[in-house]
Every structure is written in C-alpha cells, then in structure tokens.
C-alpha cells in the first residue's frame, strides 16, 4: 500500500493513546546513593529515596507502532509533596524503536536513544533464570539476571505496590519536555522546558518475583554505570499492559539549569559541542 506525503487534517493527528500492550520482561530495583541520584535530578524535582528501579522489556503491542525492546533506569522523586518516578534514561531497539523514540521525546519528553542492533537489548530465559543485557555501540551498559522465587529483600514488594496477576497499580511520573528553537543568531537553543506530570496504569498478567543481580557500566555515550549498586533489592519477571494517561504541564523550569541534566541521555558525544567554537 502506498502512502502520500500530504495528509488531511484528520490523518495528521498523532495517535492519542499510549498503550504499551503485552510488555514482557525483567523489572529490577537496587539501593544506590542519595547524593548520586540527587545530582542527576533536574530542578524542581527532589530526591525521595536512594532506590533506583529499572526494566528490560519487550513491548509487543504498542498502540503507536511495531514491537520493540526497551530498557530504562528511573529514580524516585518528589514534587510539591507528591512522590513519583523520574525515568532518567531509556534505550530502545527493534522495529518499533524509532516511532517510540520520536513520540517519547517529542510528545512526552522522555530521554530516549536508539541502539543500532535489535539484539543490543536482549532477554534470555533458561528455566527459572532470566538474563537481560543492554549494549549500545558495542559497549555493555546493563547486565541483570533474575532467579525467580523470592525478592532479595522482601521490602521491595511495597515499592512495586505488591503486584499480582489481575491487579492494577498506578503511579505518577515526571518528564522534561524540551523546546529547541533558533535564537536571533540562528543558533538552535533550548528556549523552554515543560515539566510534565503523567499518571500511568499497569495491568498485570504476570508478576513473578525474583532475586536480581544488577551490573551497570558506563560507556563514552551512556553513563549507566553512574549509579552505584549498594544492595540488590529484587525484581520480577512480568507481563503487563501499561497505559500512559494524559500529560499535564506542571512547571517551566529554567532551561539553563535543566538541560545539562538531560543532554547526555538524549544525544551522543558527537552531537555535543566539541572544543572552542
């Protein structure tokens, strides 16, 4: 089927729903360092916990594209007394990665980058053991295993709101939507940042707790090793549907202060200023 360049105004609307249907993979949480976490937070977010949570999942039925693999590291923050999650960095691979990245960055304000090979993000299962790996540009960034059974530390159940098959849980997340525009000298600069608040709902089909072992590394372009792992708290193998609800602007922080905390998770070194200019 051929398509045309010019769409009519109805066709030119973005798909309004954001449902990551049938997402399957490894979820993990570890204890890190409050100072390191606080340091990566753009204002006005404030650190709420020394924990870092992440996942490696395959998103099979996205409402906006083909299937893709996605890995994320996120931290717990507070904004005006409300506790939520701030996803610090995402990496994606597979056929749906491109659309999920464009939409994620442009519409929602997520710090997303793409890995060049589909199997740069992988999950392998062997009996009751799953191993997830994330590589980008040849460098290993995340290597996490999970042995199903019990959490490393039972306290982590509360962090996840104790999911079970059939249960729904919700939560708030915060993102930074950036507006890049040329200035009067014709140079593109970030003129505005929208701080976005978003409610999401997880509907669980499976949640099988397990003991995790988390290994994080940094490369030239992706500083995933920045978070020290002081305690493996636990995680799960899960199958769920994730629905992101509407987005609300809850602040306009100063781009000068916020942007330095976002650039390395959205662009590689080659795209950033090199030397004197």
Partner 1 sequence: MKINTTAKIGNLEIKNRLIMTAMGVGLGNHEGEATEDFIAFYARRAKGGCGLIITEITRVCEGHGIGEYDQLSLSTDDNIPSFTKLAEEIHKYGSKIFVQLHHPGRETYTQLTGTEELVSASAIPSVAAPQPTRSLTIEEIHELVEQFGDAALRAKKANVDGVEIHGAHGYLIQQFLSANDNKRTDEYGGSAENRRRFLLEIIENIKEKCGEYYPISVRLSSSEFLDNVGITSGITVEETIETAKAVENAGVSLLNISAGTYATGFTIVEPTSYEQGWKIPFATEIRNNVNIPVAATGVIREAGFANKLIEEDKVDFVALGRPWLCDPDFGNKALSGNDDDIRKCMSCVYCFDTAGESLVTGGAHAKCAVNPEMGNETVYTKLQKNGNGKKAVVVGAGPGGLEAAIILAERNYDVTIFEKNDYLGGQLYLASLPPHKQKMRYFIVYAAKKLKDYGVDLRLNTTVSAEEIRALNPYVTIIATGSEPIRPSKIPGINNDNVYTPVEILKGEVTLANQRVIVVGSGLTGMETAIALQTAGNEVSIVEMQDVCGSGGGQTVIMDERGTLAKLGVCTMPGHRLLEIRSDAVIVADNADIEVEIPCDSVVISLGVKSVNSYEDLLNDLSNVFVIGDAKCAGRRIGDAVHEAYKIAYRI
> Residues interacting with partner 1, by CB under 8 A?
31-39, 41, 43, 46-50, 78, 80-81, 83, 129, 131, 143, 145-147, 152-153, 158, 211-215, 225, 228-232
CB of 184 to partner 1, least distance (A): 32
Cβ neighbours of residue 213 closer than 8 Å, sequence gap 6 or more: 144, 145, 146, 232
Closest to partner 1 by CB, 43 or 181: 43
Closest to partner 1 by CB, 67 or 215: 215
Closest to partner 1 by CB, 137 or 261: 261
**Which whole-number Å values give the CA distances from 263 to 31, 137, 225, 231, 271, in the listed order?**
25, 18, 17, 28, 10
CB of 144 to partner 1, least distance (A): 9
CB of 28 to partner 1, least distance (A): 11
CB of 150 to partner 1, least distance (A): 11
Instruction: Give 61-99 as a DSSP string.
Output: EETTBS-EEEEEEEEEEEETTEEEEEEEEEEEESTTHHH
102 in Cβ contact with 68 (< 8 Å): no
Closest to partner 1 by CB, 8 or 80: 80
Tokens of 176: 């930074």
Q: How far is the C-alpha of 265 from the C-alpha of 137, rounded, in Å?
A: 14
Closest to partner 1 by CB, 21 or 171: 171
Q: How far is the C-alpha of 120 from the C-alpha of 126, rounded, in Å?
A: 19
CB of 155 to partner 1, least distance (A): 9
């Amino acid at each position: 089927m051929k398509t045309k360049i010019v769409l009519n105004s109805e066709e030119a609307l973005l798909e309004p729903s954001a449902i990551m249907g049938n997402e399957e993979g490894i979820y993990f949480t570890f204890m890190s360092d409050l100072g390191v976490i606080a340091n990566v937070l753009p204002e006005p977010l404030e650190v709420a916990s020394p924990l870092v949570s992440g996942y490696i999942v395959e998103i099979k039925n996205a409402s906006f594209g083909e299937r893709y693999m996605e890995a994320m590291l996120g931290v717990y923050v507070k904004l005006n007394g409300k506790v939520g999650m701030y996803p610090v960095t995402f990496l994606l691979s597979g056929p749906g990665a491109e659309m999920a990245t464009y939409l994620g960055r442009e519409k929602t304000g997520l710090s997303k980058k793409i890995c060049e090979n589909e199997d740069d993000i992988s999950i392998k299962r062997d009996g009751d053991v799953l191993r997830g790996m994330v590589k980008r540009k040849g460098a290993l960034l995340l290597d996490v295993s999970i042995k199903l059974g019990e959490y490393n530390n039972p306290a982590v159940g509360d962090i996840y709101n104790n999911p079970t098959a059939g249960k729904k849980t919700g939560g708030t997340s915060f993102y930074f939507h950036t507006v890049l525009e040329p200035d009067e000298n014709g140079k593109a600069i970030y003129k505005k940042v929208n701080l976005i608040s978003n409610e999401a709902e997880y509907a669980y089909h499976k949640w099988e707790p397990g003991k995790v072992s988390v290994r994080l590394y940094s490369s030239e372009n992706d500083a995933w090793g920045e978070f020290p792992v002081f305690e493996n708290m636990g995680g799960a193998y899960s199958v769920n549907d994730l629905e992101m609800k509407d987005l609300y602007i809850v602040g306009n922080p100063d781009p000068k202060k916020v942007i330095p905390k976002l650039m390395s998770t959205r662009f590689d070194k080659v795209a950033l200023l090199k030397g004197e200019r």
